[in-house]
Structure 1
Amino acid sequence: MSYMRSFMDDFEVSIPEISSVEIEKIEDNGFDISEYYLDYLNYSVLHNPLRKFPYFTACNIHGDLFKKINRDELFSGKGDKWKKDERIPKETQLGQELYGADKSDFDKGHLTKREDVQWATNRNKAIEAAESTFYFTNAMPQVDRLNRGVWRRIEDYILHHQTVENNIKINVFTGPVFFEDDPDFVTKVKDNIIQIPYVFWKVVYYKMNGALHRTGFITSQKHLLEKRRIVKPSVRAEAKPESDLFMTFKDAETYQVRVEFIEKTSGLSFQKANENFLGETPEELILSGVDVRSEDSLSIEKVSINITL
């Protein structure tokens, strides 16, 4: 079963909308955007055939039906099996030709987290859902420090310490920001220049006190990419001014933001809902598991209030 708008019973949550300008760009290049909305088990993906990465993934998480499954239980214990989705042209996706290329010092970062879809009434179905996250249409090139750092810990916090422990349902959207000045990967892939996105966002919808709420998170890997010489420094004149917002961010750290901030930078439109985070500027989340590193950092209680019943 793919992403369900009516998953939270009392509220429908629609997928984000891309702009009419973006749709026109896709159509001008001979693509039908509706053919790139791909359904998987417990999640769906809207893929960008021009950039060859997903616009976003849309995931339902059912805390009450979550199944704990070790990664080595997947694919009959034979290891991860990443593959391209045969429903869309292979040339519109980036697979091992990118991740196995020279200087590709980054992880295949799941957008929809493997564990997020590990829920079903039947354990075998939950395993099947987990295996369905290993499509390249659900992956982004992410530096390990980002993929395995605070970004991952906030994902774990949302899943395990809120959704599963409280047996609730939530909807999660995750994706990159496509800037015009995204830096070029230093290695050509099949003679093509590949721009590597460096900003990622996550929006969580949940119920609290009988109302629909949402909260947003954002992170960046620009300087890590440049420091490791994975990308060339960007020199494009047509850069979006919004991209300058991230020049002073600490790489691989996660920030809580209002969803309007994500809309402004990504060009996507999200369904309206209440927000408890009212700050006008991003606030850094400094977590170690579910503990705070320092008293000066955002407290875990402040994080949890935005994603708890």
Structure 2
Amino acid sequence: MNAPLPEPRFLTADDLSDRAGFDEEFLGIGLPVPALAMLETTLLPYTHFSILMRSDKRLAAVTALGIDGSHLMDMDRSGIDWRLDPRLGESMQTGAGLYSRNDIDRGHLVRRASAVWGATQAEAAQANSDTFFYTNAAPQAAEFNQSLDLWLGLETYLLDNAADYGRRLVVFTGPVFSDRDPVYRGTGIPLMYFKVAAFLHEGGLAATGYVVDQTPQLRELPDIERPGAMDAAPPLGPFRTFQVPIRDIAALTGLDLAQLVDADRMPIAAALPTAAVTSAWRELSNPECLDLDFDLRQ
């Protein structure tokens, strides 16, 4: 059970005015933050990453992170409190009230360890701190958030085996919002999350997509308003991670992922271009189970 959260240190928008955000040329080719049409969004820049916020959900639609594996640093999180982003109204983001005195964790969308890099310790430390804005928090059942070794390890695996541009990798992460999401304290809790990793392979853009699910864990939380669809057995089980066609992620989220769909290196995505959403998902038990149209370790 989470203890009551301390009040965060007061910040102003000026404190964040120097943040450059995600570099669209990070891989040496243009790769923008995916857009979301027909909905009100706000793009917020941080150190090494940007977050596209959805006003209607008060959560991120997608985060965009550039990882420089050759400059990663090992820093702890001591002394860093979660806090609201002063550039966004409190009513447009989800803060401490959602996570206090319950078993919902503040899961990082932008993985802290992946963002902590830089030419200097000061740059890495700023990135470390920036990952603790509530805009980067994802409401996750505590048991789920603490059992994501495979999900989190995919970034490290791809950096070690796939990235051939100075060990650089771009990762887009976010919730998969749906009408089945249960409501807790006025906030819809996403049942699933997605990740799309992009890197260069033989000089061209390559990408691969993933989905992870927390449906069973949310059944155990008290005071959740469950839509009727929650009464049915979920299609996915606890802690199961899937490699999926990126076009499925685009269909489920509404994000413009066309450039990444074209770069998808999952063979079934090309072999079955009209397959129904979820029908071509591949369950992963470890990163070596990835199905790609080339050998990562060559």
Is the Cα–Cα contact under 8 Å of residues 175 and 194 in structure 2 kept in the other structure? Answer: yes
Q: Which runs of 5+ in 2 are unaligned?
A: 1-19, 269-278
Normalization by structure 1: what TM-score? 0.77
Normalization by structure 2: what TM-score? 0.80
CA-atom RMSD, angstroms? 2.5
In 1: Cα distance, 2:140 partner to 2:46 partner:
22
Asked if residue 57 in structure 1 is aligned to residue 63 in structure 2, the reply is yes
In 1: Cα distance, 2:143 partner to 2:296 partner:
25
Name 1:293's counterpart in structure 2.
none
Is the Cα–Cα contact under 8 Å of residues 61 and 117 in structure 1 kept in the other structure? Answer: yes
> Identity, % of aligned pairs?
24
In 1: Cα distance, 2:129 partner to 2:37 partner:
31
Which of 36, 60, 73 is 1:18 aligned to?
36
Which of 22, 45, 48 is 1:42 aligned to?
48
> Could you report, residue by residue, the CA deviation over 1:275-301 in whole angstroms, capped at 9, with x for unpaired residues?
2212351111113xx6xxxxxxxx446
In 2: Cα distance, 1:144 partner to 1:304 partner:
36
In 1: Cα distance, 2:235 partner to 2:177 partner:
18
Name 1:202's counterpart in structure 2.
195
Is the Cα–Cα contact under 8 Å of residues 150 and 241 in structure 2 kept in the other structure? Answer: no
Asked if residue 153 in structure 1 is aligned to residue 172 in structure 2, the reply is no
Is the Cα–Cα contact under 8 Å of residues 49 and 92 in structure 1 kept in the other structure? Answer: yes
The 5 A counterparts of 1:95-174 are 95-100=95-100, 102=101, 104-150=102-148, 152-159=149-156, 161-163=157-159, 167-174=166-173
Name 1:84's counterpart in structure 2.
84
Is the Cα–Cα contact under 8 Å of residues 276 and 306 in structure 1 kept in the other structure? Answer: no
In 2: Cα distance, 1:116 partner to 1:216 partner:
17
In 2: Cα distance, 1:252 partner to 1:202 partner:
15
Name 1:294's counterpart in structure 2.
none
Shift of 1:226: 0.9
Indicate how the Cα distance of structure 1 residues 154 and 256 shifts in structure 2: closer, same or farther if over 3 A, else same.
same
| Local SS of the residue matching 1:207 | strand
User: With CA pairs under 8 Å and 6+ residues apart, which has the higher RCO, 1 or 2?
Assistant: 1
Indicate how the Cα distance of structure 1 residues 136 and 307 shifts in structure 2: closer, same or farther if over 3 A, else same.
farther
In 1: Cα distance, 2:204 partner to 2:297 partner:
12
Asked if residue 2 in structure 1 is aligned to residue 21 in structure 2, the reply is yes
